[in-house]
A and B are shown apart, each in its own frame.
Chain A
Amino acid sequence: MKWIRQDGPLRPEAFFEILYAKFQEVAPNPSPYFIGINNKKIKLLFANDLFLKHFTPALEHLRMDDCETELTICLWDSHSTGSTMPAPPWTHDDYLPRGGIRGWENERFSISFQLGSSILSFYDKERNIALFWTSDLRTIPYWERGAPLLAILQWWGEQQGGSIIHAGAVGTKEGGVLLVGKGGSGKSTTALSSLNSSLFYAADDYCFVSKEVWSLYTSAKVDWKTLKKLPHLNPPPETNEEKALLFLYPTWKERLVAHFPLRAIFIPRIAQETKLIPCSAAEALIALAPSTMFQLPRASKRAFETMANLTRSIPAYYLNLGPNIPEVSETIAEFVNDQCHYSGV
């Protein structure tokens, strides 16, 4: 296999232009799709309707009408457009953990290639244009469809002074809590059980934090065993995938919330009875930061600082999860109502 190289190093700026030109060539009439996050507007340009329909179910609750936007993301795949992609100007040895490519990021450009899903993300911070390419949209893994564009939205979000974090989020329009911790801690069960309570749901796995928490996706990834404890979700038949991927919009439209002020960080853990136990900011950061930093493609030191500042600014608690699932939602709701009352909301 031969890697095509120009004489001398190809700079990120030049390769970005080559790929941007490729998108414009394969998508002369792209299908636009507009979303809003953190009071900002983003335009997604899909090479075709097929890609749009395949890739947007998780974003549908953020959809907006045509508008002026602060970020444009161009998306295409080689298979559905019948096109070929220019060769990558780097070698196998240049791929790094967390999607990095050695020597290919600078002040202006961020780039990531996810080997497990064969997805290229490339962002020009100066022009606020990003490129998203994969070889065949049919091979996009279920977890990417459930949390699309994580790398690009993370880079853009850091520029807004916020960060995507690995956390669930539930509450009311007046305030809510983050649910943080690694997989298996009860985060998803706690978040999804809120759909059957007085609480509203913003996130199960990833959300965006700046001054408030913002919902990113209406998807929920739940292992099949946990899904059986949540009959209100009408679980689909089990497949060979490791987890079920559910899209909560439009079925649960009335129980979804786009954003709310943050009142606390909760660290769920399985216990004998449900109760809240105060913990330190350091414990909250340990529960939140490693899974965010190690999972998010190319999350930077700035994201870590955002998380540290978050844990300094709001209280944190262990949320001991007893066996009675509705009682968990009631405990969270009571806390949120008390906090909002105390804040004069």
Chain B
Amino acid sequence: MQFRINTPPIIYEILDGEAVILNLDKGIYYSLNEVGKEIWRQIGAHYTWQEMVDSFHSDQGEEFVKNGVLAFLTQLEEEKIIVEDKNDSVREKLTKKPFNTPHLQIYHDMKDLLLLDPIHEVDQAGWPVAP
């Protein structure tokens, strides 16, 4: 299974290897730890989840890596940051990297800014009137 970044509601920039991700529909923003950033890069390059798992190694074994990667992808899907997508583009073989649990830092402190004001009244022409 492959994924893509859920643009346009999701916008992101990579600065010096760090990812800053905004969800314009929800008013939530995110950052990623080191392994999370690598998986993010692999999502953008259309690697399958199995290829992602195979690209990491851990003293705690393959199952640990697999569970960590899948849990992270599930979290990204639940946040609607990524969606499933098929892509047949050529993908280079990945070099194995050390694995620790990928982490998505979620910031909710601004989501109230996106709350839609309720429409209480409208004028005769149908324009909402300020509360």
Contact = CB atoms under 8 A, between A and B. Distances in A.
A295 interface: yes
B116 A88 contact: no
Interface string A281-294: 11001100111011
A98 B114 contact: yes
Contacts of B22: 289-290, 293, 304
A24 interface: no
Contact of B110 (A2, A116, A294): A294
Interface stretch (A36-44, A79-87, A215-223, A332-340): A79-87
B131 A116 contact: yes
B90 interface: no
A278 to B, nearest CB: 13
A294 B27 contact: yes
A19 to B, nearest CB: 12
Interface in B1-59: 8, 11, 13, 15-16, 18-20, 22, 24-25, 27, 29, 31
Interface in B114-131: 114-119, 122-131
Contacts of A1: 122, 126
B109 interface: yes
A255 B109 CA distance: 34
Contact of A86 (B114, B118, B123, B125): B125
Interface in A1-22: 1-4
B13 A116 contact: no
A85 B27 contact: no
A312 interface: yes
A285 to B, nearest CB: 5
B83 to A, nearest CB: 18
A163 interface: no
A125 to B, nearest CB: 19
Contacts of B131: 116
Contacts of B107: 286, 290
A76 interface: no
A286 B119 CA distance: 32
A289 B20 contact: yes
Contacts of B122: 1
Nearest to B129: A118
Contacts of A113: 128
Given A282-B16, A289-B20, A97 B114 contact: yes
Interface in A139-195: 139, 141, 182
Contact of A281 (B15, B114, B129): B15
A308 B15 contact: yes
A4 B126 contact: yes
Contacts of A295: 113
A331 interface: no
Interface of B: 8, 11, 13, 15-16, 18-20, 22, 24-25, 27, 29, 31, 107, 109-111, 113-119, 122-131
What are the 3 A-B residue pairs with the smallest beta carbon separation, nearest first? A282-B18, A118-B130, A115-B117
24 contacts: A2-B126, A3-B126, A85-B125, A87-B125, A95-B116, A96-B116, A97-B27, A115-B118, A115-B119, A116-B117, A116-B130, A117-B130, A135-B127, A281-B18, A282-B16, A285-B13, A285-B15, A290-B110, A293-B22, A294-B111, A301-B11, A304-B13, A308-B13, A308-B15
